[in-house]
């Protein structure tokens, strides 16, 4: 029931954000909308090349949609980020390998209490488009909504202009969703084997910084920390940073990183007994970096 209510609320918020043309047209004074699309393509074709190497094709796309509303003491900020990338090395018989894949939808409502202090409610939903394989390319370890993460927070926000926000939420929940039968049966991502979701209540801290640090260079970084009240010492970390470079009206470049630590994702194998070769899977730091140069379309 908890997961149904949470997803329904998320869909209601997202649909109202991106499908309310009538309300936006009736009063555009308080609304701000922005959409950015970045497309990248590269190809290397080698035939009898004595220097060695492999032919390759790389395709990637990034989108960012922002809709915000501010009037008096009320502020409503909404963001949808999507990314997908594929790479093929070798001839046409080789499969394409996924290099990037995410869907992130966030919605924050804030009510001002003092000059820079707000009470806030935040929804943060994350998943991916396509299945993900292990390093050997043999086993499926993730799919759409496997996992999916839904965070819901109520807390106090400090806001400095449009540059920096920090929110501490003593009332917070994290719902981990795994709708794939095989991953659910294996108890992946910390859920009980056979279940499709896990609900946790805890405390959350979220901060965001965005600023043009030089001409045509923008830095943004978002940090999210969550700790379950049942395991208050264990902190889940999600830290995203991006540098965006505007080359000209149509060309842009970006470099982004993401660091994740989740105690429920046992992705690292360690040896606990060298004599017997006994191993154990433990949580490890996940890190991703992506560089893109390509066509930029801003709406």
Q: Are 142 and 128 in contact (CB under 8 A)?
A: yes
Q: Are 203 and 226 in contact (CB under 8 A)?
A: yes
Report pLDDT for 249.
78
Residue 282 is given by DSSP the state: E
**CATH code where residue 98 lies:** 2.40.230
Q: How many domains in the chain?
A: 1
Mind listing the pLDDT tens digit for each residue in 12-32? 444 444 444 444 444 567 999
Q: Are 236 and 227 in contact (CB under 8 A)?
A: yes
Report pLDDT for 283.
75
Report pLDDT for 166.
95
Q: Are 197 and 178 in contact (CB under 8 A)?
A: yes
Report pLDDT for 15.
44
Radius of gyration over alpha carbons of the chain, in Å?
Answer: 21
HSE (CB half, 13 Å, CA atoms) of 107? 16
Report pLDDT for 169.
96
Three-state secondary structure call for residue 189: helix
Q: Are 122 and 206 in contact (CB under 8 A)?
A: yes
Query: What is the distance between the alpha carbons of residues 48 and 41, in angstroms, rounded to a whole number?
Result: 24
Smallest CA-to-CA distance from 253 within 289, 218, 293 is with 293
Report pLDDT for 106.
93
Query: What is the distance between the alpha carbons of residues 175 and 177, in angstroms, rounded to a whole number?
Result: 6
Three-state secondary structure call for residue 203: strand
Domain range for 131 is 2-298
Smallest CA-to-CA distance from 95 within 146, 60, 134, 56 is with 56
> Token digits for 263?
């105690």
Query: What is the distance between the alpha carbons of residues 9 and 171, in angstroms, rounded to a whole number?
Result: 17
Residue 67, H or E segment: strand 56-71
Residues of the chain with pLDDT under 50: 1-26
Mind listing the pLDDT tens digit for each residue in 112-160? 999 999 999 999 999 999 999 887 778 899 999 999 999 999 999 999 9
Report pLDDT for 44.
86
Residue 25, H or E segment: helix 21-26
Query: What is the distance between the alpha carbons of residues 81 and 103, in angstroms, rounded to a whole number?
Result: 6
Q: What is the pTM of this model?
A: 0.80
């Amino acid at each position: 029931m908890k997961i149904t209510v949470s997803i329904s609320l998320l869909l209601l918020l997202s649909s109202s954000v991106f499908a309310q043309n009538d309300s936006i047209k009736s009063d555009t004074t308080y609304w701000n909308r922005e959409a950015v699309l970045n497309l990248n393509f590269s190809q290397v074709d080698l035939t009898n090349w004595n220097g060695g190497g492999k032919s390759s094709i790389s395709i990637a796309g990034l989108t960012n949609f922002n809709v915000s509303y501010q009037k008096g003491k009320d502020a409503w900020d909404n963001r949808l980020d999507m990314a997908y990338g594929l790479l093929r090395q070798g001839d046409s018989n080789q499969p394409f390998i996924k290099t990037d894949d995410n869907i992130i939808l966030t919605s924050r409502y804030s009510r001002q209490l003092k000059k820079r202090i707000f009470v806030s409610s935040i929804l943060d939903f994350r998943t991916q488009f396509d299945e993900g394989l292990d390093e050997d390319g043999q086993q499926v370890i993730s799919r759409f909504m496997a996992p999916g993460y839904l965070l819901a927070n109520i807390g106090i926000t400090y806001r400095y202009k449009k540059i920096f926000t920090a929110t501490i939420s003593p009332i917070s929940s994290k719902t981990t969703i795994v709708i794939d039968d095989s991953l659910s049966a294996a108890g992946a991502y910390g859920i009980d084997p056979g279940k499709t979701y896990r609900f946790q209540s805890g405390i959350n801290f979220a901060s965001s910084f965005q600023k043009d640090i030089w001409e045509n260079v923008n830095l943004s970084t978002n940090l999210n920390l969550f700790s379950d009240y049942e395991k208050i010492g264990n902190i889940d970390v999600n830290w995203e940073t991006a540098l965006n470079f505007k080359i000209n009206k149509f060309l842009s470049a970006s470099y982004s990183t993401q660091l994740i630590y989740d105690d429920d994702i046992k992705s690292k194998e360690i040896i606990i007994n060298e004599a017997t070769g006994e191993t154990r899977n433990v949580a490890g730091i996940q890190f991703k970096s992506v560089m893109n140069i390509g066509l930029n379309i801003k709406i």
